[in-house]
A and B are shown apart, each in its own frame.
Chain A
Amino acid sequence: MNEFGVYRVTGKREYRGHTPGAVFEAILDPSAAQRAIDRGDIKLLRYVTPSLVPGSYRLPPDWLEPVTRPNEAPAGASLVSEEGS
């Protein structure tokens, strides 16, 4: 499960590069996290699953088109006309 802890730095020193008071998300080693919590360095606020935010992205316009090799006619196309000429 892609679950991350949301932590607040509660100690007086930086934790993992985060300044006191900062909130950060990370997957921490459970025993290391527990020790840091016990020391008062950080506090676990909640668990979250970080994800791409729907509506924040757009794929390349041609990405979902069927793949056509160069010099290959698109599906359904024909070089022979319906009249058979």
Chain B
Amino acid sequence: MKRLLFVVPAHGRAKLARICLTHLRHTCDELTAHKIKASAIVVADDENLDTATELGFGTVRRDNTFVSRRYNDGVQAALDAQFNGQPADFVVPCGSDDFVDWRIFLDLPGRHTVRCFQRLSFVREDGREMISRRLLNQGGCGIRVYPREVMQSRWFRPCDEDRHRACDTSILHNLQRAHPALRIQYAGIDPRQIVDWKSPDNQLNPYRSLRPHRPLAEPSDPFTALRGIYQDEFLEQMQEHYEHARGLVAA
């Protein structure tokens, strides 16, 4: 059975992160039921660690001075035999504000290949609109499947240590330099299989900044468009979260 760990840096946004991490628990359970043992390591220094522990995930306590160091700590905990008695075969960086459909991880890449995703969807900060985009930058979005062998070429710390943002780009560029045989392979998925839920606070890439990317569909209501991809219970929790947040803003 192959082994996969998601690495999830989390900072604030505790309610949104709780919903997304609970969904990630479901993603991991489905993968394990389909012969890929999966779990997650959450890297944080706030109540998101409690949520992770409650859900049966691993944790790393690291301050948020450099987001890149959080990624590196998580990858090292996942893959470095010095810290993990059973290192994972694959690691997937993932946001604490994302839904990922477990089905996109069933087809795992070869030892020198990074599986990337260009198509994904974004929900506006008020939860009332969703757009689907194809990202044309190399590597697509930051959610990628990296084999252990590839990460080993950077001593399991793939990101520049002093970055506040663009960590996904730093990881890919550093690995390309360190591992010349590296191949980038794009998976053709339904853009709704990765959803980035925006929120008004702590947003590095706000919804409006995504408009220049290539559109794949007309803007839609997320809770209608995502029905059938994700279980109703998760969509209902998210809908309640946005309604509550809008109520707070209106008040």
Q: Is the interface of A mostly helix, strand, loop or mixed?
A: loop
Specify which chain B residues have a CB less than 8 angstroms from the CB of A50 in the assembled complex. Answer: 69, 72, 157, 161
Contact residues, B36-85 vs A (CB, 8 A): 37, 39-41, 53, 56-62, 69, 72-73, 76-77, 80, 83-85
Specify which chain A residues have a CB less than 8 angstroms from the CB of B157 in the assembled complex. Answer: 2, 50-51
**CB atoms of B77 and A57 under 8 A apart:** yes
B33 vs chain A, min Cβ distance (A):
6
B241 vs chain A, min Cβ distance (A):
25
Among B39, B160, B161, contact of A62 (Cβ-Cβ < 8 Å): B39
Q: With A52-B83, A69-B35 given, is the CB distance from A57 to B161 under 8 Å?
A: no
**CB atoms of A52 and B160 under 8 A apart:** no
Which chain A residue shows the least CB distance to B72? A50
Task: Bin chain B's interface residue count.
Answer: 35 or more
**CB atoms of A26 and B33 under 8 A apart:** no
Q: With A18-B162, A51-B76 given, is the CB distance from A57 to B83 under 8 Å?
A: yes
Specify which chain B residues have a CB less than 8 angstroms from the CB of A53 in the assembled complex. Answer: 62, 73
**CB atoms of B59 and A58 under 8 A apart:** yes
Q: How far is the CA of A10 from the CA of B38 in the complex (A)?
A: 46
Q: With A25-B161, A56-B61 given, is the CB distance from A63 to B77 under 8 Å?
A: no
**CB atoms of A26 and B77 under 8 A apart:** no
Give the most central of B5, B37, B154: most A CB within 10 Å. Answer: B37
Task: List 26 A-B residue pairs with CB atoms under 8 Å apart, sorted by A's residue number.
Answer: A2-B155, A2-B157, A16-B162, A17-B164, A18-B162, A26-B161, A50-B69, A50-B72, A50-B161, A52-B73, A52-B76, A53-B62, A53-B73, A57-B58, A58-B58, A58-B59, A59-B41, A59-B77, A60-B5, A60-B57, A60-B58, A62-B39, A62-B56, A67-B1, A67-B3, A69-B1
